Structure 1
């Protein structure tokens, strides 16, 4: 993946594949052509990091990075982004040798060839991103970029504040130490049989939440991923798929571009 800035002179001419900036913004659903011209005139549009005010400026939708008010814009309209609320009992692959339910059940309705970003294990439900954008998939799924994910775990037993503190401070598993970025108890003292715990972490290690909770003596009964980076599951029903909104796409692309930028931290989170 490359997010190298193109020299401004290379995108301002009438080269093959380029379109006028205001038309590209309109095609991307940012605003009408007239309103896009106003955005450009007001200095609210950047191309490859530089403010552009010239009405005749041209961009290549496949290579140039454009943002409006600091939020990234996807000019390549062939790129698609969807959110799936994956049910339990579905494998996070496009085929399964064991004949179990797989993601084709949800992607076959689309013309584009979509693939999943990362995985949720067979018994875990919740937010899964489907896309045909390999660059976005790489940043969101690779552990080195440290994209945060939030889970709600129903666990056995009554979890205490001391246990929550332990999750935050860090524990040691067979494959090394791990600490939750955030953890909190959602139903303190309401049940002796089960507790609800919210855990946020950036690790991509396999079955990490289940293993963490088992290590502190509270095996997981049910697990749902509610948030992935800037995306939140909201009220999307189990098994439903919807396209990301314009705002969600912008937030997602902004995160991806910031994470992949050469100016990003030289020492990203590691698992």
Structure 2
């Protein structure tokens, strides 16, 4: 942190995706920004690339060599960067200028939120089961989901590859022929949501992942991407201890 050199703090924060320049100025004046562990309130504060910035306790990512994207993966697209059989992959939805890799996988017949990044440590931690990052899915399933199904899934069931349980389970809509449910779990095992729901008598008709940790799909259209930056990225990093 310097007085006469470097870049103005509000400009750096805005460039990192925290908010507009005006919003960042308000954050500084309110004492919500720390530079190298010290709260600053002066709008004339200048910072260097080596300074560590926090907003509301969340670290701000300043390394612009790292890119993290959220993709709404369409149905039928492989979670891969290439395919020797010519099938569509997530690489078809990227500009190709930055080499990215996907964080975990979604089955070809599952759509929704897929994270892509070139931050190797972030990707490793997000995919590692020890960090238990929660993922939320909305599924359309066969049959009317009875009241006791959620309790059974939260309590744990046994699959071919071991026990599995949902962190939470909510019936969003129930009809005689089919229902819509939301399930949250931190396991990333192969086709885990489909296998769990089939095990309790409700095979999946359609499945969408709507969140990965603090990152939400929102209104992102199918096949579109958006940057994960600013406080959203900081929350994602904090989820895995970065």
Alignment TM-score > 0.5, same fold: yes
Match of 1:259?
240
Q: Which residue does 1:24 correspond to in 2?
A: 12
Match of 1:250 in 2: 231
| Matched residue, 2:102 | 116
The TM-score, its normalising length taken from structure 1, stands at 0.76
Alignment of 1:209-224 (within 5 A): 209-224=193-208
User: 1:243: how far off?
Assistant: 2.7
Alignment of 1:70-219 (within 5 A): 70-107=57-94, 109-188=95-174, 190-191=175-176, 193-219=177-203
Mapped partners of 2:105, 2:133: distance in 1: 14
Task: Kindly provide the CA deviation profile for residues 111-160 of structure 1, in whole angstroms up to 9, marking residues without a partner as x.
Answer: 22222121101111111112222233223222111111111111122211
C-alpha change, 1:119 and 1:65, in structure 2 (3 Å) is farther
Q: Distance in 2 between matches of 1:34 and 1:160?
A: 51
Deviation at 1:48, TM superposition (A): 4.9
Return the offset for 1:167: 0.7
**What runs of 5+ residues in structure 1 fail to find an aligned partner?**
1-11, 262-271
Identify the residue that residue 216 of structure 2 maps to in structure 1. 232
CA distance 1:129–1:217, shift in 2 (3 Å)? same
TM-score, normalized by length of structure 2?
0.84
Q: Which moved more, 1:65-74 or 1:193-202?
A: 65-74
Deviates more, 1:23-32 or 1:117-126: 23-32
Q: Which residue is equivalent to 1:8?
A: none
